[in-house]
Structure 1
Amino acid sequence: MLPAIKDYRELARRRLSRFAFDYLEGGAEDGRSMARNLASWGDVTFLPRTMVDVSQVDTRITLFGRQQAMPAFVGPTGLNGLYWPQAEQVLARAAHAAGLPFVMSTASTSLLEDVRAASPGDLWLQLYVQKDRRIAQSMMARAQAAGFSALMLTVDTMVHGKRDHDVRNGFRMPVPWTPRLLADLLSHPRWCLRMLRQGGSPQLVNLARSAGVESNIQKQAAAMSREMDMGLRWEDLAWVRRHWKGPVIVKGLLSADDARRALQAGADGIVVSNHGGRQLECAPAPMAQLPQIADAVHGKMHIFVDGGVRRGSDIAKARALGADAVLLGRAPLYGLAARGPQGVAEVLEILRTEFETTLRLLGAPQATSLNATFMQDH
């Protein structure tokens, strides 16, 4: 096991082709939103309590009637087949082994039915709504039939943010063969061999099935690039409810006003998120927005937050400032790209161990006892 998440990031950087690592790591435009996300966790400081019995600590929480090992999810990320074969199955199994839910992306490279077959754990579906809503309806129906327990509706991707790194690398689906790409691939033979073993470039098979697209990467890419439903409104949560019977969480909010609208529209929860800094450049960091959003809707709906969780202490900070749990995006992918299934398990164990250590040093025997009194100036 490596010492910290940043060590898995560095190993992933060395082992992945450049275009694959840049897709994993890069933010929108000049990367200011992503940099702000990472810095925001360091801007928050603890105020520990002493002389508290922490010989036993309990990291567990309960959400939607289900107990989980700590306040975290393995969150939704797309095109994970770039990093390891059958990536979603690997992530789902690792999440279940760690006692955490796994949220599967619409842009996954595995079928949701295959992920369910690979893991008996708690699975959630992350959903994009395209202009042809029949695709989303099909995705919800399939996930419901496969026993997925919750839906995470992402609302901050009406269009894709401009990602300069992908433009520089000429990255798109299908991946174009260029001299620069060939040089990149030849310098990463182990990664190339893994990709060849899984049949070459990963495919958007999950979306393709619901869109009725055959097994052809060009047609799948065209399906993914279809126009998002830019007319989606709060009133459309009623349409989602007609097709989904479990909890509905709205992902991609950054203001207290939008959090109140989500509550009024009947959402069961929200994710305070700027899409990992990959959409709107110069968006505020979710962690910076969390306290005011928690004040606006605290106790009336579940609140989750993402955007640069790299330490177990980050999980404690989010929980203390009003979040029920955090979403882990890039961190498990660093483990996946660096060391495969073992790497994902190690990353989740590092975060759990660091979170437990933080609880002890804070004088907080239970994760559920964390609140703003453990934070300085909050």
Structure 2
Amino acid sequence: MAAITNVADLRAIAKRKVPRAIFDYADRGSYDEITIDANRRDLRAIPLRQRVMIDVSDRSLATTILGEPVAMPLAIAPTGLTGLFHGDGEILGARAAQAAGIPFALSTVSICSIEDVAGAVDKPFWFQLYVMRDRGFAASLVERAKAAGCSALVLTLDLQIQGQRHRDIKNGLSVPPKLTLANAVDVMLKPAWAYKVLMGKRRSFGNLQDRVPGGDSLTTLSQWIANQFDPSLSWKDVEWIRSIWPGKLILKGILDEEDARIAADSGADAIVVSNHGGRQLDGARSSISALPRVAEIVGDKAEILFDGGVQTGQDVLKALALGARACMIGKAFLYGLAAGGQEGVAQTIDIIRKELDVSMALTGTRNVLDVDRSVLGDVRSNRPSMQDWISP
């Protein structure tokens, strides 16, 4: 087997191991996929400043997120359907994150439930909440997160209406997947994947199945979820969640300057600069292009987390330089999980850790807490159009 040296290698393995419909759900975005491509393109275009003859023999990646010590400035983002990429995927991801000393966020639409994950790890994890039409059910999820000892609530703001993802429709992705000849052949050619998923603790939406009549049916649950996204969601709902959740509150999905000002005054402990991985509003700006201005507006009112295209340690370094406290990984996490279960997630984290460590050293940086714009090169010599949003 060829050596695995980067997240792209794990992506290639994941593509071979899981059905196409499942892989594309993680890998691709909405409509023409302009925004998902911009996330990676704009990160790659930012140059780093090479420094030499600086003693970097003693380096540290340790920092804090929301006041809690972490081994590196990274967290696993909430991802839906994680348990379909590998049986017990949420549990394996949480265990890998715990072993690596970084936070793990569990999605509302996970396969394993809040209680499943809580019973499988020793340390608290984060829970991501979708505020659906049924506010009573949303409140019950908050209560379950409290009971499980979750250390933070991640409130997703940018999914009031789901963006159309052409590939999901063309692939026949539903829950369970629509049985077509192409899907059937694809699954038959991936028996190891099917066995792991079938032998997993759950094969339904663990957090939701007891809420819906006929909840044993994934089709019923998926239809219920589709009808539950609420276009009336407003900042008043953020106030409500803040009033019933006593712990750390993270608001995910901020790109706009006006939204950043409102979020900064909302009482949230952290804000995630994110465009939902390019899976919602296609044509929205890249997350990295929005980061500097959002960080400037928010200031010290809340910590800034970054999400959107992070697949290397250099991506993390660039985001830290532009104002983020830490980064979140979604696609990179799922690639590792699909490629090798808990070990694959550990590989993803370790690859990013090593890349960040080496890149810090080559920019003359000893401590991740010291990363600032000085590690960036001259943007004008690389992509003049980016100067407007990277310049202080």
TM-score range, shorter chain: over 0.9
Q: Which moved more, 1:242-251 or 1:44-53?
A: 44-53
Match of 1:70 in 2: 72
**Once the two structures are superposed, what CA deviation does each residue of 1:244-264 show, in whole Å capped at 9, x if it has no partner?**
101111111111221111012
Q: 5 Å matches for 1:99-114?
A: 99-114=101-116
Q: Which residue of structure 2 lines up, in the alignment, with residue 270 of structure 1?
A: 271
- What CA distance in whole angstroms lies between the structure 1 residues aligned with 2:351 and 2:264? 34
Q: Corresponding residue for 2:366?
A: 365
Residue range with higher mean Cα deviation, 233-242 or 38-47: 233-242
> After superposition, what is the alpha-carbon deviation per residue over 1:5-42, rounded to whole angstroms, capped at 9, x for unaligned?
00000011011111111112121012111111111111
Which residue number in structure 2 is paired with residue 256 of structure 1? 257
Query: What is the CA-CA distance between 1:218 and the residue it aligns to?
Result: 2.8
Aligned residue in 2 for 1:197 = 199
Preserved contact between residue 93 and residue 121 of structure 1 (Cα < 8 Å): no
Q: Normalized against structure 2, the TM-score is what?
A: 0.92
The one-letter code sitting in structure 2 at the alignment partner of 1:20 is I
Corresponding residue to 2:23 among 21, 24, 39: 21
Alpha-carbon separation, structure 1, partners of 2:105 and 2:288: 20
CA distance in 1, matches of 2:119, 2:313: 30
Report the counterpart of residue 173 of structure 1 in structure 2.
175
Aligned position for 1:298 = 299
SS in 2 for 1:151: strand
**Aligned partners of 1:65, 1:193: CA distance in 2, in Å?**
41
Question: Which amino acid counterpart does residue 363 of structure 1 have in structure 2?
Answer: G
SS in 2 for 1:252: strand
Look up the match of 2:320: 319
Q: How far is the alpha carbon of 1:46 from its aligned partner? A: 1.4
Deviation track 1:142-179 (CA, whole Å, cap 9, x = no partner) reads 01111101111101101111111111111112322222
**Structure 2 regions of 5+ residues with no counterpart?**
379-390
1:1-378 matched pairs, under 5 angstroms = 2-198=4-200, 202-209=203-210, 214-377=215-378, 378=391
Name which of structure 1's ranges 5-14 and 257-266 shifts more when overlaid on structure 2. 257-266
Q: 1:324 to 1:213 in 2, by over 3 A?
A: farther
- State the Cα distance separating 1:210 from its structure 2 match: 5.3
SS at match of 2:194: helix
Q: Would you say how many aligned residue pairs link Structure 1 and Structure 2?
A: 377
Letter paired with 1:252 = G
**1:93 Cα deviation (Å)?**
0.2
Q: Which moved more, 1:232-241 or 1:25-34?
A: 232-241
SS at match of 1:327: strand
Whether contact under 8 Å (1:60, 1:67) holds in the other structure is yes
Q: Given the superposition, is the C-alpha separation of residues 122 and 375 from structure 1 closer, same or farther in structure 2, using an over 3 Å criterion?
A: farther
In 1, distance between residues paired with 2:262 and 2:198?
47
Whether contact under 8 Å (2:49, 2:376) holds in the other structure is yes
CA contact (8 A) 1:136 1:210 kept: no
**Which is worse superposed, 178-187 or 105-114?**
178-187
Q: Identity of paired residues, percent?
A: 38
* Cα separation, 1, equivalents of 2:264 and 2:322: 19
- Does the CA contact (< 8 Å) of 1:135 and 1:211 recur in 2? no
Q: CA–CA distance in 1 between the matches of 2:67 and 2:285?
A: 32
Letter in 1 for 2:285: P
Secondary structure of 2:207 counterpart: helix
Change (3 A) 1:173 1:240: same
- Runs of 5+ unmatched residues, structure 1: none
SS of the residue 1:42 aligns to = helix
Tell me which moved more, 20-29 or 98-107. 20-29
> How big is the alpha-carbon RMSD for the aligned residues of Structure 1 and Structure 2?
1.6
Counterparts of 2:94 and 2:7 in 1: how far apart (Å)?
19
TM-aligned CA deviation for residue 120 of structure 1:
1.6
Distance 2:65 2:324 in 1: 12
CA displacement at 1:212 relative to structure 2: 7.3
- 1:103 touches 1:124 (CA, 8 Å); kept in 2? yes
